[in-house]
């Protein structure tokens, strides 16, 4: 999965011959999972049609501050466009537009939106050789980068004039790769390796029956996605679950029983920076597992259970450099039980949720948590989607890592 997945990309097209490449650029952004909107300078429509870019982006394309229908004049709000975007890309960025950006000239929708943008702004210069080397252009490029904008360097090659040299806009594939690498280099968990457990465990009674629980694994999978989106390499150890993890930075390890999960955790634990144990691991398992299916009888069936290994406690006992995060799903005396677990299992953080809170717990799309640290400082969060809860958890972990 690309780091651009889920991002809102605003592509601003200006009047250079390289504008024809923006059709392919839009396709690449869409393929990477981004949502794309396109704005154009009026003159750029001589090089590529708004209809082409609208069709590819599946969004209206605007080039003026307002548009007329039969009865009304409709304002294209440049402020909203600037605030909507997670990333703004100006490509091609002509010498004329670069000069206007540098000096704050605001005579078209692209420039007004640029001046309103609060997101990172990338620009890909495109012009002929002599224009690219002109001192005024060099001043514009230096000034725009000093403002915090990010330049995607022009390349050398055959230009529209027939000359060969610098000034050719970077190819669409290279532009997307440049932005992806730049974003990845700034992600707060880049270079970190995180172990996450998720889902239930199944403890066999016989070849067809097991002891399990209602965990879907959704919370753990959401945490894994959030961590990967922030640059972490994730080892996701999952019990039986229908959840999907498609991110390229997530390595999924499927297990079934508590013993399987114990072994997998200890296999990877030494190499990780953070371990987050969100799985609902069985506390007990049948002491004797039948080799064949147990036949139904009229009399009661008694199954002797024995404790499973305590994965979280064993990791706490072996903790060296790792930040260790546990989960506590409680039904009574929630805070007391969670604090006791921190001490007994040598945790850095614990994520507490209660089955008494509506919308929390197993098989829901929401959760309501309290995060407690080793000093018993606690932070309560309102009921949120598990996707948003995962961000709260990861943000607390990032804070701990940088403390």
Cβ of 209: how many Cβ atoms within 10 Å? Answer: 16
pLDDT higher than 80, residue 136:
yes
pLDDT higher than 80, residue 381:
yes
Residue 257 contacts residue 264 (beta carbons within 8 Å): no
Which residue bears the tokens 């605007």? 62
pLDDT higher than 80, residue 291:
yes
Give residue 395's pLDDT. 96
Nearest CA-CA partner of 188 in 218, 246, 159, 229: 229
Q: Could you confirm whether 377 is annotated as catalytic?
A: no
For 278-346, strand residue ranges (E) read: 284-286, 305-307, 323-330
229 and 343 inside one domain: yes
Cβ neighbours for 377, distance < 8 A, ≥ 6 positions apart: none
202 and 181 inside one domain: no
Which residue bears the tokens 């009888």? 297
Average pLDDT, the chain: 92
Out of 96, 213, 346, 395, the active site residue is 213
| 1 assigned to some structural domain | no
| Helix locations, 117-257, DSSP H | 129-133, 135-146, 172-185, 218-229
| 32 assigned to some structural domain | yes
Q: Tell which of 169, 185, 201 closes a domain.
A: 185
Give residue 114's pLDDT. 97
218 and 328 inside one domain: yes
Q: Please give the residue range of the domain that contains residue 280.
A: 193-293+300-402
* Cα–Cα dist 291/294, whole Å: 9
pLDDT band of 360, cuts 50, 70, 90: low
* Cα–Cα dist 189/401, whole Å: 9
Q: Residue 402: helix, strand or coil by DSSP? A: helix
| Mean pLDDT on 97-126 | 96
User: How far is it between the farthest Cα atoms of the chain?
Assistant: 94
| 2 assigned to some structural domain | no
| Mean pLDDT on 378-400 | 94
pLDDT higher than 70, residue 95:
yes
pLDDT higher than 70, residue 123:
yes
pLDDT higher than 80, residue 164:
no
My answer on whether omega of the bond before 92 falls inside 30° of 0, hence cis, is yes
Residue 275 contacts residue 315 (beta carbons within 8 Å): yes
Cα-Cα end-to-end distance for the chain: 30
16 and 75 inside one domain: yes
Nearest CA-CA partner of 380 in 392, 362, 391, 394: 392
pLDDT band of 72, cuts 50, 70, 90: low
**Higher pLDDT, residue 312 or 1:** 312
Q: Tell which of 185, 211, 246 closes a domain.
A: 185
| 382 assigned to some structural domain | yes
269 and 348 inside one domain: yes
pLDDT band of 91, cuts 50, 70, 90: very high
Give residue 71's pLDDT. 64
Instruction: For the chain, give the percent of residues with pLDDT over 90.
Output: 79
pLDDT higher than 90, residue 208:
yes
Question: What is the CATH number for 230?
Answer: 3.40.50.10300
Give residue 403's pLDDT. 74
12 and 85 inside one domain: yes
205 and 169 inside one domain: no
| Mean pLDDT on 168-190 | 94
| Helix locations, 104-165, DSSP H | 109-116, 129-133, 135-146
Nearest CA-CA partner of 279 in 224, 316, 339, 226: 224
pLDDT higher than 70, residue 362:
no
Q: HEC profile for 318-336?
A: CCCCCEEEEEEEECCCHHH
206 and 268 inside one domain: yes
199 and 155 inside one domain: no
Which residue bears the tokens 């089955």? 355
Question: What is the CATH number for 111?
Answer: 3.40.50.1950
283 and 386 inside one domain: yes
pLDDT band of 297, cuts 50, 70, 90: confident
| 3 assigned to some structural domain | no
Instruction: For the chain, give the percent of residues with pLDDT over 70.
Output: 96
Structural domain total, the chain: 2
pLDDT band of 5, cuts 50, 70, 90: confident
| Mean pLDDT on 193-202 | 97
Residue 167 contacts residue 127 (beta carbons within 8 Å): yes
Cα 137 to Cα 103, 126, 167, 378, distances in angstroms? 12, 11, 11, 54
Give residue 304's pLDDT. 94
337 and 271 inside one domain: yes
Q: What is the pTM of this model?
A: 0.79
Structural element, H or E, at residue 315: helix 311-317
pLDDT band of 110, cuts 50, 70, 90: very high
Cβ of 241: how many Cβ atoms within 10 Å? Answer: 20
pLDDT higher than 90, residue 58:
yes
| 41 assigned to some structural domain | yes
112 and 136 inside one domain: yes
What digits encode the pLDDT tens for the residues 232-272?
A: 999 999 999 999 988 889 999 999 999 999 999 999 999 99
Give residue 69's pLDDT. 65
Q: Tell which of 167, 185, 203 closes a domain.
A: 185
């Amino acid at each position: 999965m690309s780091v651009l997945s889920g991002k809102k990309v605003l592509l601003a097209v200006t009047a250079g011959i390289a504008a024809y490449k923006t059709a392919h650029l839009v396709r690449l952004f869409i393929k990477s999972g981004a949502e794309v909107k396109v704005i154009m300078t009026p003159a750029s429509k001589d090089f590529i049609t708004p209809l082409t870019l609208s069709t590819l982006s599946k969004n209206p394309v605007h080039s003026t501050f307002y548009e007329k229908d039969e009865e009304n004049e409709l304002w294209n709000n440049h402020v909203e466009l600037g605030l909507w975007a997670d990333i703004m890309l100006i490509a091609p960025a002509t010498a004329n537009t670069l000069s206007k950006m540098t000096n704050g000239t605001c005579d078209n929708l692209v420039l007004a939106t640029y001046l309103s943008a609060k997101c990172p702004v990338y620009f890909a210069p495109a012009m002929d050789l002599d224009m690219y080397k002109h001192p005024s252009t060099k001043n514009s490029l230096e000034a725009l980068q000093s403002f915090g904008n990010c330049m995607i360097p022009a390349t050398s090659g055959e230009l529209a004039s027939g000359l060969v040299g610098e000034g050719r806009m970077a190819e669409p594939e290279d532009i997307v790769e440049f932005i992806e690498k730049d974003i990845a280099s700034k992600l707060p968990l880049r270079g970190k390796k995180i172990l996450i457990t998720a889902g239930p465990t199944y403890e066999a009674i016989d070849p067809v029956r097991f002891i399990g629980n209602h965990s879907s694994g959704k919370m753990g999978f959401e945490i894994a996605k959030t961590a990967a989106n922030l640059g972490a390499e994730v080892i996701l150890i999952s019990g039986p679950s229908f959840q999907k993890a498609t991110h390229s930075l997530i390595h999924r390890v499927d297990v079934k029983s508590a013993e399987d999960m114990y072994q997998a955790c200890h296999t990877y634990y030494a190499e990780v920076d953070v371990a987050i144990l969100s799985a609902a691991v069985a506390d007990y398992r049948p002491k004797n597992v039948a080799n064949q299916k147990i036949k139904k009888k009229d009399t009661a069936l008694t199954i002797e259970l024995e404790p499973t290994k305590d994965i979280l406690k064993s990791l706490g006992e072996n903790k060296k450099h790792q930040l260790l995060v546990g989960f506590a799903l409680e039904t009574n005396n929630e805070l007391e039980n969670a604090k006791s677990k921190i001490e007994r299992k040598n945790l850095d953080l614990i994520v507490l949720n209660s089955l008494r809170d509506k919308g929390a717990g197993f098989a829901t799309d929401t959760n309501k948590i309290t995060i407690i640290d080793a000093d018993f400082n606690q932070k309560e969060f309102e009921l949120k989607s598990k996707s948003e809860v995962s961000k709260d958890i990861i943000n607390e972990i990032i804070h701990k890592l940088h403390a």
